[in-house]
Amino acid sequence: MIWKKITIETTTEAVDMISYTLGELGVEGIEVEDKVPLSEEDKKAMYIDILPELPPDDGVALISCYIDNPETDVEDLVERIKVELEDLRQFMDIGSGQITLGETEDKDWVNNWKEFFHPFWLDNILIKPTWIPESEVERKLGDIMVEIDPGTAFGTGAHETTKLCITQLKKYLTGEETVFDIGCGSGILSIIASKLGAKTVFGVDIDPLAVEASFENCQVNQIRKEQANFIQGDVIGDADFAQHMEKAEGSLPEYDVVVANILADVIIPLSAKVAPFMKPDGVFISSGIINTKEEAVREALLRNGFEIVETTYMKDWVSFTARKK
């Protein structure tokens, strides 16, 4: 299959904002190339002794996205990207903003990202790619190991938004809670919730490939379907979603914890839909929120009857932990 490739030349400082903007335009995956040196923490997490030498960091980054849908008007998408880039240029340095078009075969890139996904720790949780032998990583007694192969689904655990969710799950899961994972992606948050003691986990994603990846990753981590179940669905847009959920679960449950690592513009309408799925005093953990959308999400949560109990930050990203009143 031939994929259309759109590449934007920008600055390393603008990568997060442009990546977020591409997501809002419907782009589902990106590739970032830069010359930013790895930190000592990154080097330790990669479990290798010798790193390839990189040229000096010139502050330039290339962001590429790949389009496989023949119905997508690539020229129109490029024009919309140009408009968004000019808006961003008003308040930040985006560099040249030059856009180039190309083509690539899926075999050239679908699995290439794996060379950049290495085992890493988040406190006592080790997140390990399935293709890395367990013998190659050191573990301590009591550590939790999560094995992940995202496939084409979102979620290796390495992104700041996912780390924020994991930190909050560790704080609010004490054992035997029920968890609803909205936008489950690779299933990583569902798996971690289960390993942290959740009684049951139910995940939903609009992408059938994400549902498939979640089931497969649960199987790798010895988590049974009775412990973690997943369906394809749209909590916001499907008026019959509750019925689909009731059919999958046997009844319409109320959850102790709901977690959603998506986008600000999804969390805002979701905050008006999620309460019926929560127990009284239930916890709603939301992430994937770029800092420029922090206040909009805060206002939506408050408007929809939530009490914000904690706001956490990592780089340009924000996570809210809120309780159902």
- Ordered by start, the domain boundaries in the chain are 2-110, 160-324
Domain covering 160-324, topology = Rossmann fold (3.40.50)
Q: What average pLDDT does this structure show over 99-103?
A: 91
Q: What percent of the chain has pLDDT over 90?
A: 51
Within the chain, what is the greatest distance between any pair of CA atoms? 58
pLDDT value of position 130:
79
CATH number assigned to the domain covering 2-110: 3.30.70.120
Of the candidates 308, 263, 248, 313, the one whose C-alpha atom is nearest the C-alpha of residue 283 is 308
**pLDDT at residue 261 is higher than 70:** yes
Whole-angstrom distance, CA of residue 249 vs CA of residue 258: 16
Q: What percent of the chain has pLDDT over 70?
A: 86
**pLDDT at residue 116 is higher than 70:** no
Asked if 72 and 79 touch (Cβ cutoff 8 Å), the reply is no
Asked if 227 and 167 touch (Cβ cutoff 8 Å), the reply is no
Q: What average pLDDT does this structure show over 63-68?
A: 88
Band of residue 107 on the pLDDT scale cut at 50, 70, 90: low
**pLDDT at residue 113 is higher than 70:** no
Q: Which long-range contacts (CB under 8 A, 24 or more apart) does 47-54 make?
A: 47/118, 47/119, 47/136, 47/137, 48/118
Tokens 């084409």 label which residue? 152
**169-215 per-position pLDDT tens digit:** 999 998 889 999 999 988 999 999 999 999 999 999 988 988 998 99
Tell me how far the alpha carbon of residue 7 is from its chain's centroid.
22
**pLDDT at residue 232 is higher than 80:** yes
Band of residue 55 on the pLDDT scale cut at 50, 70, 90: low
Would you say the pTM of this structure is higher than 0.75?
A: no
Q: What average pLDDT does this structure show over 144-157?
A: 67
Give the DSSP letter of residue 36. P
